[in-house]
Amino acid sequence: MAVQQTRVAVVTGVNRGIGHAILRNLASGAHGPLVVYATTRAGTLPDGIAKHQKPHVKIISVPLSLRDPESIEALAARVAKEHEAVDVLINNAGVYYYREGISDTERADTLETNYKGTLHMCQAFLPILRNPGGRIVNVSSQAGRLRWLAPHLRPAFLARDLTLEKLDDLVREYDAAAGRGDEVKAGWPPMAYAVSKAALNAATRLLARQHPGLLINSCCPGWVATDLGAQAGTPSKTPEEGARIPLHLAFGDIGHTTGKYWANDSTADTGVGKVQEP
């Protein structure tokens, strides 16, 4: 029997919800020998992980906030020092203020966490992702699909010559409109969350084009019973079911698929998803 090489994974937001379910799955040894850098804002390993942990899985608990660039850089530097490469980065952490008319502070938190902070994670780890074959999974949302933007806003997000500077400008344009309270009139969706995830999907496509040796995808986990998901009612999926698509993109057979948005046909479906229109 061939000896399996130890792989290195980084997962954000593991203390609850889908991130906790992802970490439980990794701890169970389902993906072979693994070193997992598991991040929480508190920097402590959440309850309920140790009992799942197999001896061939090492879990390292790390403090990280997506709104603290230094914590992102520190983790990337530490992992670079301790390993020759990273095999999998799962950007799971995110926030959702599920109502219209959120405060400027809440809008800033949404855009900074879901878009800027997650993008910073990608940028910090891209130089040390195993190439070829390293993977990034950005946990996004169906709320970030371009159908929620007015038709005149969509082409800019899909443009093949989109740059990160232009994408930042688009997000700033939305932010300014939302600050004035006229974003919906301008064609933007009524919730900052949707724009943050649309920008994350666009960044995913852009980074995938720039790094053809890697598999960089985003996904919607479905409607999942977590603190975040329960704001909108009674979600249909368990966190374990919500973890399926991110785990498939991280470890499953996805061929050479990269730069895509993955989801099931319905947010209640429990499959591993497929490529969908962004």
Ligand X SMILES: NC(=O)c1ccc[n+]([C@@H]2O[C@H](COP(=O)([O-])OP(=O)(O)OC[C@H]3O[C@@H](n4cnc5c(N)ncnc54)[C@H](OP(=O)(O)O)[C@@H]3O)[C@@H](O)[C@H]2O)c1
Q: Catalytic residues, which ones? A: 193
Nearer to ligand X, 235 or 278 (CB): 235
Q: 145, exposed or middle or buried, with CB in 10 Å at 0-12, 13-18, 19+?
A: buried
Least CB distance from residue 36 to ligand X, whole Å? 15
Q: What are the residues whose beta carbons fall under 8 Å from the beta carbon of 46, sequence distance 6 or more? A: 14, 15, 16, 20, 23, 40
Is 259 a binding residue for ligand X by CB under 6 A? The answer is no
Positions 54 through 93 that interact with ligand X (CB under 6 A) = 65-67, 92-93
Nearer to ligand X, 159 or 225 (CB): 225
Out of 15, 204, 258, 264, which residue is the one contacting ligand X (CB under 6 A)? 15
| Backbone Cα Rg of the chain | 18
Out of 221, 259, 273, 278, which residue is the one contacting ligand X (CB under 6 A)? 221
Exposure string over 63-89, b if 16+ CB within 10 A, otherwise e: ebbbbeeebbeebbeebeeebeebbbb
Nearer to ligand X, 113 or 217 (CB): 113
Is 218 a binding residue for ligand X by CB under 6 A? The answer is no
Least CB distance from residue 278 to ligand X, whole Å? 15
Binding mask 127-156 for ligand X (x = CB under 6 A): ------------x-x---------------
Q: Which amino acid is at 208?
A: A
Is 264 a binding residue for ligand X by CB under 6 A? The answer is no
Q: Which amino acid is at 127?
A: P
Least CB distance from residue 56 to ligand X, whole Å? 25
> How far separated are the first and last CA of the chain, in Å rounded?
41
According to DSSP, residue 189 is labeled: -
Residue recorded with tokens 């990273």: 86
The contact set with ligand X (CB under 6 A) reads 12-13, 15-19, 40-41, 65-67, 92-96, 113, 117, 139, 141, 220-221, 223-224, 226-229, 235
